A and B are shown apart, each in its own frame.
Chain A
């Protein structure tokens, strides 16, 4: 019984499966090479895409000097910040009601309703929002874009907040009440500070999603309300220049920074803080 196990029974590590390593490498190249090329050519001195003539940051300077790009970037920021703020507050309240308000009729349905926008194809949401806005004659300019962004940002903000709240022990809140804290004081002094990493993570996720949304913004935004992704798309129609690469690279950098922060925040769960 204790003799050596037959070699054939041993499970092979994944690396030993013939061709899997190559396949994985090919996949990674396919996925990331275009992005790497895009970033690299944003530093190209020449104006012809895919012909390297030397290093330069001229295209970044030109992009920053372009008033249209600055306006689009400003619009993107306004939309992302406003939509994130509203979506995060709504998502936090929803998560608190669902996790702490006790079970009520339809609480399962509410949970489903909040997550539904994740499943609905974006183009459907886009068309629906467009038809709805023109149907009721809503015309708030950038406000329309903000409202549309809030709707799809809520589920993204909700998920990390809810996860954090579920992992949080209610005895801490009871301890606060035991020590003469009213419900509001309990929320302010105990629940919210402990929930904060989840709230920040939700806000960041929501910000990134809003910043790079294209389809819905494209449908809803009026002429003067162009955001950065929509502007980049319009630039491409006039031919790809390294200026597009530069703007895209900046957008990519912002996303990477925020996603990295999000990752660090969700890694320190409530459990690690408590024990």
Chain B
């Protein structure tokens, strides 16, 4: 009828071989309300999610992640654009006929049903034989390690347990695509970190395409096959975690995914695939350019704190002076005055024993490797 078998033995598609994308979005737009109170939650979103992919929508609160997920699930009608599920347009298919299941942010377990009845709900609606339902419920509860609590009511469960039941309930009908709206945000840190690996594991064993929503960049980087970074209803960049982190497409992505130094700069020349840039204070630095050509809003040089090299005074690209230190346990953040408006932040691991302690006022050399410096649209 409406669902595909979850087939544990499906090959990983990842690389995007033949066959249509699991989900394809074509210029999807959504405006809430109208007139003066209109809110443009989505402004022309287009991308494809591959079959068997762990795909993450990452962005700050209010950027439209939930709206996009609800449009795919069928709870929200897109104002414009098309949504395709394995090549079929699903815009006119009501939510209860879409072979897509959701793990809701606050779980939304049915409070008047036991854990087992919650998990069986979707299968019963699909009129599966009772024997198959019993087997599938047992398998799903085993998958999330909740077999022992099958007869409890949701009110008798902890947050982490509810989370697992919600996951089992959404996985039970073996949907083609599973939508997860910030499923870990209500858990405490330790549990959250443990669940990351488990979710990743479950995605791999079930072979179901996961669309995972989060505003936590660490979560996105650690779990995803690919990430779409969103801001103000638009997709800013799509790519594997390392690409997003190492080569952000613009200043927003660079700043949202990880820590970043930004130095305003203008292009003064080009040589061998590198650009030469001048900062307001007169430094001339070589940098790699961002993949897309910088737009008109000015340009900035971008470098991650851990890519800033620190050497004895006189040996660096630039001379600097330590302004302040921030101790983080495993690393230390060092604010360095290099004559620009804002200090440069470097981070140094605390791994080496007997490492010379830095003090405010210390002079040092700063190495800005052209490979680590990137020119971005501001």
Q: How far is the CA of A169 from the CA of B109 in the complex (A)?
A: 11
Evaluate contact between B155 and A179: CB separation under 8 angstroms. Answer: no
Evaluate contact between A176 and B121: CB separation under 8 angstroms. Answer: yes
Q: How far is the CA of A193 from the CA of B113 in the complex (A)?
A: 10
Chain A residues with CB under 8 Å of B95's CB are 174, 177-178
Which residue in B75, B106, B169 is a CB contact (below 8 Å) of A179? B169
Chain A residues with CB under 8 Å of B154's CB are 274
* 0/1 interface trace, chain B 62-98, chain A, CB 8 Å (1 if under): 0000000000011100000000000000000011110
Evaluate contact between A172 and B96: CB separation under 8 angstroms. Answer: no
A175-B108, A273-B111, A273-B112 in contact; A185/B125 too (CB < 8 A)?
Answer: yes
Evaluate contact between B97 and A180: CB separation under 8 angstroms. Answer: yes
Evaluate contact between A179 and B173: CB separation under 8 angstroms. Answer: yes
Cβ of B252 within 8 Å of any chain A Cβ, yes or no, is no
A186 vs chain B, min Cβ distance (A)? 8
Chain B residues with CB under 8 Å of A275's CB are 155
Interface residues of A in 241-275 (CB under 8 A from B): 273-275
Evaluate contact between A180 and B108: CB separation under 8 angstroms. Answer: no
B88 vs chain A, min Cβ distance (A)? 17
Main secondary structure of the interface of A (DSSP, over half): helix
Which residue in A169, A182, A273 is a CB contact (below 8 Å) of B96? A182
Chain B residues with CB under 8 Å of A22's CB are none
List the A residue with the shortest CB-CB distance to B98: A178
A245 vs chain B, min Cβ distance (A)? 44
The 7 closest A-B pairs by CB, nearest first: A179-B122, A180-B125, A175-B108, A171-B108, A177-B95, A177-B96, A273-B111
Contacts from A to B (Cβ < 8 Å): 169, 171-172, 174-183, 185-186, 189-190, 193-194, 273-275
Q: List 20 A-B contacts (CB under 8 A).
A: A169-B108, A171-B108, A172-B110, A172-B111, A174-B75, A175-B104, A175-B109, A177-B75, A178-B95, A178-B102, A179-B96, A179-B169, A180-B2, A181-B96, A183-B96, A193-B112, A273-B111, A274-B111, A274-B155, A275-B155
Given A174-B102, A175-B102, A181-B96, 12 further pairs, Cβ under 8 A = A171-B106, A172-B110, A175-B108, A175-B110, A177-B74, A177-B94, A178-B101, A179-B96, A179-B121, A179-B125, A274-B154, A275-B155
